[in-house]
């Protein structure tokens, strides 16, 4: 990281965006964060040393250190214009939460001056009411106490709006009784377990390894639409996705949008949020048009998982805020528009030693690289364990199950609901030989492609091709977990994955130790245990086309679960395997796990209910009145035409009669479905418990909502444009 702050540099005015425009990013990167340079300037040397020490050893920070740290932090914040501070938490609701307090303390009497103050205890913890966040029964209005507690391993930052600056302290969120009420706490627990287990294993190969961290580089997909169009689409505004609308004649079939030139207005919006992101220390570096019209992607340089997750959440917030400045809106929903590409959030994930060695880097000769093989095979095994029937009942599928993601997973869109691992052909061969021969030579020679063109350099070829149909492909030196939803907090998916890998690595280490104790060499023991692990888990490896019907059948034969919907998937959290895994790794206790199941189930039910109510509203107050008005007009035209001449041979009359007939059918279809939808909404409230309601929402509400949509879409192409109250897909997707 570059340590110069732009405040000390030639680019003077931090608010002067134009000067930032021409400044290299390294001049202002992280200037709104309490980074190393700021800490060195504002914290006494001994305080900084104690802080470093606490981070290195993992020891809790005591009150004295917190007081000294808070003093430096306050001075930095105030020097930079911050008037308020907030603990910044990640409740289990796909949104971050904050409550601002001023540093300012008014004088209580005239003998004392007013002043700004901020103590160690202000920094360490706050006590926001926990009863209004989803808690799955862990908290209620009569037992509401919750604590937000400073996470010293995350980066503190100042968030600016046009007229305010606020200090944000990333925090965990727990109940008075100690249970986690957020995404961050279990994520940190899983990272700690993973560090412990992976370090022990890494030391088999290099005793000097200090520790292991997980790294994450997410790719955030999103749509951009005009703000005024957005406001006219109640469904986009209230549900984040369109509940009706036909795919326009031109959509993505010409394949001319992906990586196309970014339109000027969108480019300006992107540059604006990127500049803000860079000042906040979010290392976004990649931007491009995505597959669908109106769709884009941005990606950062990878970081440690905790900061990467914070940064993704912060960026999503930033994008939403900055978009309005440009008269735009961003859509982060997994499926804003039916029939065209949805939004995902690929999680590029790897393991690295504290010193920065990527443990998933195969090197030149992976067949001889026992460290690589060990981590690779154990990750494959962990994924198998959380993706297979009769093991942990596809916990991994449950961890990405949201109402939004249901429109992608298992709905004929990337990636499928069956979780499998793509290794690529080369690694597959290495593993195949390793299984029988153990260590062997398999040189990963990069081949080159000579092009018969003037001056153009030769092309170095990767050893594996890409497979976009796999939910969990290995992409050279990292896995690309492609099944995470675009609006999701990555923490949920990674907590489950990391817990499973930590657990697997611990079991592996134990098996190796046992063999060593029985007299075998360390290398022999590792090879033998790995070979067995591979044999036990290789059914999860699949290098073919994940969208094909053959794979569905094959996956079923292999015992891989294929839960197409969230209601089918979420039950995995309650299986005994899941309980045991989370207990063993201390990532979630039984109460926390049950609470989470309840929260996710309720979220699903609430979203389906909201969407259904919205659909009813829209149909009853716009679609049907509009269609009826047009129906009346057509009927009148029909009568007039009929009076004018005989039916036979009168094309206008025949056409009108035909349209009238179709229109009537479509209106009736909408009406019939809205009646059913209403009935089913009532039934939803008569379900006994959350599990029954979840199933009912998935099995009854969702198909009825879909059927209603079907009729509305049929109506859309029949009703006069003047009587259709909503912008259509082409109005939303082709604006730039
Ligand atoms: P793609 O070609 O798959 O679209 P991108 O270039 O958009 O890939 O994104 C690749 C992402 O992978 C980046 O965020 C990058 O930082 C991340 N990445 C690269 N190496 C690692 C690693 N070792 N651990 C985690 N993420 C990584
Ligand atoms: Mg990409």
554-575 pLDDT tens trace: 999 999 989 989 999 999 999 9
- Give me ligand 1 centre to Cα 643, in Å: 70
- Angle (CA) 347-86-59 rounded to 5° is 70
Residue listed under structure tokens 């400073």: 150
Contact 118, 124 (CB under 8 A): no
Strand ranges in 345-402 using DSSP code E only, listed in sequence order: 345-353
Contacts of 375 (CB under 8 A, 6+ apart): 198, 201, 351, 359, 360
Q: State how far the Cα of 577 lies from the Cα of 406, in Å rounded to an integer.
A: 24
Residue 649, pLDDT above cutoff 80: no
From 290, 302, 462, mutation site for ligand 1 pocket: most ligand atoms within 8 A of C-beta? 302
Contact 233, 241 (CB under 8 A): no
Helix pair angle (702-716, 590-618), 10° resolution:
30
From 216, 218, 219, mutation site for ligand 1 pocket: most ligand atoms within 8 A of C-beta? 219
* pLDDT tens-digit series, residues 123-172: 999 988 888 888 888 888 778 889 999 999 999 999 998 899 999 999 99
For ligand 1, atom 13, name the residue with the nearest CA: 217
Which of the four pLDDT bands, split at 50, 70 and 90, describes residue 3? very low
Class of the CATH domain delimited by 219-346: alpha beta
- Two tokens, residue 349: 């994930």
Q: What pLDDT score does 1 carry?
A: 37
Say yes or no: CB of residue 302 within 6 Å of ligand 1.
yes
Q: What pLDDT score does 114 carry?
A: 84
Backbone angles phi, psi at 158, to 5 degrees: -110, 125
Q: What pLDDT score does 390 carry?
A: 57
Lowest mean pLDDT among 21-30, 245-254, 292-301, 490-499: 245-254
Say yes or no: CB of residue 216 within 6 Å of ligand 1.
yes
Residue 700, pLDDT above cutoff 80: yes
Q: What percent of the chain has pLDDT over 70?
A: 95
Closest residue by Cα to residue 423 from 459, 485, 373? 373
Contacts of 646 (CB under 8 A, 6+ apart): none
329, containing H or E segment: strand 328-331
Residue ranges of the domains in the chain? 32-181, 183-207+372-588, 219-346, 604-733
- Give me ligand 1 centre to Cα 218, in Å: 7
| CATH architecture entry for 32-181 | Roll (3.10)
The neighbourhood of ligand 2, an ion, using CB within 5 A, equals 219
Strand ranges in 415-470 using DSSP code E only, listed in sequence order: 421-422, 448-449, 459-460
Instruction: Give the residue, 528 or 130, on which the prediction is more confident.
Output: 528
* pLDDT tens-digit series, residues 348-385: 999 999 999 999 999 999 999 999 999 999 999 999 99
Which of the four pLDDT bands, split at 50, 70 and 90, describes residue 420? very high
Lowest mean pLDDT among 94-108, 153-167, 368-382, 464-478: 464-478
Q: Do domains 32-181 and 219-346 have the same CATH topology?
A: no
Long-range contacts of 370-376 (CB under 8 A, 24+ apart): 370/205, 370/439, 370/523, 370/526, 370/527, 371/202, 371/204, 371/205, 371/206, 373/430, 373/431, 373/434, 373/530, 374/201, 374/204, 374/205, 374/508, 374/526, 374/530, 375/198, 375/201, 375/351, 376/427, 376/474
Q: State how far the Cα of 376 lies from the Cα of 595, in Å rounded to an integer.
A: 33
Say yes or no: CB of residue 404 within 6 Å of ligand 1.
no
Which of the four pLDDT bands, split at 50, 70 and 90, describes residue 389? low
Lowest mean pLDDT among 242-246, 253-257, 305-309, 483-487: 253-257
- Give me ligand 2 centre to Cα 299, in Å: 7
- Give me ligand 1 centre to Cα 259, in Å: 17
* pLDDT tens-digit series, residues 289-306: 888 889 999 999 999 999
Which of the four pLDDT bands, split at 50, 70 and 90, describes residue 4? very low
Which of the four pLDDT bands, split at 50, 70 and 90, describes residue 693? very high
Closest residue by Cα to residue 365 from 479, 475, 444? 444
Q: What pLDDT score does 645 carry?
A: 67
Contacts of 8 (CB under 8 A, 6+ apart): none
Residue 449, pLDDT above cutoff 90: no
| CATH architecture entry for 604-733 | Up-down Bundle (1.20)
Lowest mean pLDDT among 437-451, 479-493, 520-534: 437-451
- Give me ligand 2 centre to Cα 215, in Å: 17
Residue 258, pLDDT above cutoff 80: no
């Amino acid at each position: 990281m570059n340590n110069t702050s732009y405040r000390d540099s030639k680019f003077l005015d931090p608010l002067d965006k134009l000067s930032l425009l021409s400044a290299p990013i390294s001049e202002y990167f992280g200037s709104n964060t309490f980074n190393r340079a700021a800490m060195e300037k504002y914290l006494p040397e001994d305080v900084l040393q104690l802080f470093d020490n606490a981070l290195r050893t993992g020891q809790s920070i005591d009150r004295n250190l917190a007081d000294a740290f808070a003093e430096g932090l306050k001075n930095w914040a105030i020097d930079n214009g911050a008037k308020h501070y907030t603990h910044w938490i990640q409740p289990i609701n796909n949104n971050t939460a904050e409550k601002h307090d001023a540093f300012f303390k008014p004088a209580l009497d005239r003998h004392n001056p007013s002043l700004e103050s901020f103590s160690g205890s202000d920094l360490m913890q706050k006590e926001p009411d926990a009863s209004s966040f989803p808690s799955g029964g862990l908290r209620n209005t009569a037992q509401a106490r919750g604590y937000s507690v400073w996470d010293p391993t995350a980066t503190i930052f100042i968030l600016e709006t046009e007229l305010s600056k606020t200090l944000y302290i990333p925090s965990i969120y727990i109940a008075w009784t100690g249970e986690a009420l957020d995404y961050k706490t279990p994520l940190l627990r899983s990272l700690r377990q993973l560090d412990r287990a992976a370090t022990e294993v890494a030391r088999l190969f290099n005793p000097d390894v200090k520790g292991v961290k997980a790294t994450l580089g997410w790719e955030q997909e999103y749509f951009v639409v005009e703000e005024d169009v957005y406001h006219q689409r109640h469904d986009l505004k209230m549900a984040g996705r369109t509940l009706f609308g036909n795919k326009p004649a031109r959509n993505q079939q010409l394949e001319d949008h992906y990586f196309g030139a970014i339109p000027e207005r969108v480019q300006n919006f992107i540059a604006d949020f990127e500049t803000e992101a860079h000042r906040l220390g979010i290392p976004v570096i990649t931007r491009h048009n995505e597959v669908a019209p109106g769709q884009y992607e941005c990606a950062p340089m990878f970081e440690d998982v905790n900061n990467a997750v914070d940064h993704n959440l912060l960026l999503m917030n930033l994008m939403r805020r900055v978009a309005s400045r440009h008269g735009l809106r961003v859509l982060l929903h997994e499926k804003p528009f039916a029939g065209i590409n949805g939004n995902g959030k690929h999680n590029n994930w790897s393991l690295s030693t504290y010193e920065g060695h990527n443990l998933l880097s195969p090197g030149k000769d992976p067949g001889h690289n026992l460290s690589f093989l060990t981590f690779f095979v154990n990750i494959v095994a962990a994924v198998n364990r959380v993706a297979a029937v009769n093991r942990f009942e596809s916990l991994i599928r449950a961890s990405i199950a949201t109402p939004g993601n249901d429109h992608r997973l298992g709905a004929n869109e990337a990636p499928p609901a069956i979780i499998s691992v793509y290794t690529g052909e080369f690694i597959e061969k290495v593993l195949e030989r390793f299984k029988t021969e153990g260590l062997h030579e398999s040189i990963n020679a990069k081949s080159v492609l000579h092009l018969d063109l003037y001056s153009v350099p030769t092309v170095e070829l990767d050893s594996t091709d890409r497979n976009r149909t796999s939910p969990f492909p290995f992409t050279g030196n990292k896995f690309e977990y492609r099944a995470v939803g675009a609006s999701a907090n990555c923490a949920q998916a990674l907590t489950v994955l990391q817990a499973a890998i930590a657990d697997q690595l611990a079991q592996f280490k134990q098996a190796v130790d046992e063999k060593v104790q029985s007299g075998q060499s360390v290398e022999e023991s590792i090879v033998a245990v790995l070979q067995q692990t591979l044999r036990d888990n290789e059914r999860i490896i699949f290098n073919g086309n994940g969208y094909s019907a053959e794979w569905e059948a094959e996956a079923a034969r292999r015992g891989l679960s294929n839960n197409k919907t969230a209601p089918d998937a979420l039950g995995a959290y309650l299986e005994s395997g899941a309980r045991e895994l989370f207990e063993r790794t201390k990532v979630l206790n039984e109460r926390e796990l049950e609470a989470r199941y309840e929260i996710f189930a309720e979220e699903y039910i609430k979203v389906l209910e909201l969407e259904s109510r919205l659909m009813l509203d829209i149909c009853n107050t716009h679609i049907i009145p509009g269609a009826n008005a047009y129906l009346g007009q057509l009927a009148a035209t029909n009568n007039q035409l009929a009076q004018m001449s005989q039916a036979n041979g009168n094309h206008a009359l025949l056409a009108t009669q035909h349209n009238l007939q179709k229109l009537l059918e479509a209106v009736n279809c909408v009406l019939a479905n809205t009646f059913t939808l209403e009935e089913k909404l009532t039934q939803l409230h008569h379900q006994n418990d959350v599990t029954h309601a979840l199933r009912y929402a998935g099995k009854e509400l969702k198909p009825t909502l879909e059927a209603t949509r079907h009729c509305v879409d049929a109506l859309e192409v029949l009703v006069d444009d003047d009587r259709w109250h909503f912008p259509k897909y082409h109005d939303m997707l082709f604006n730039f």
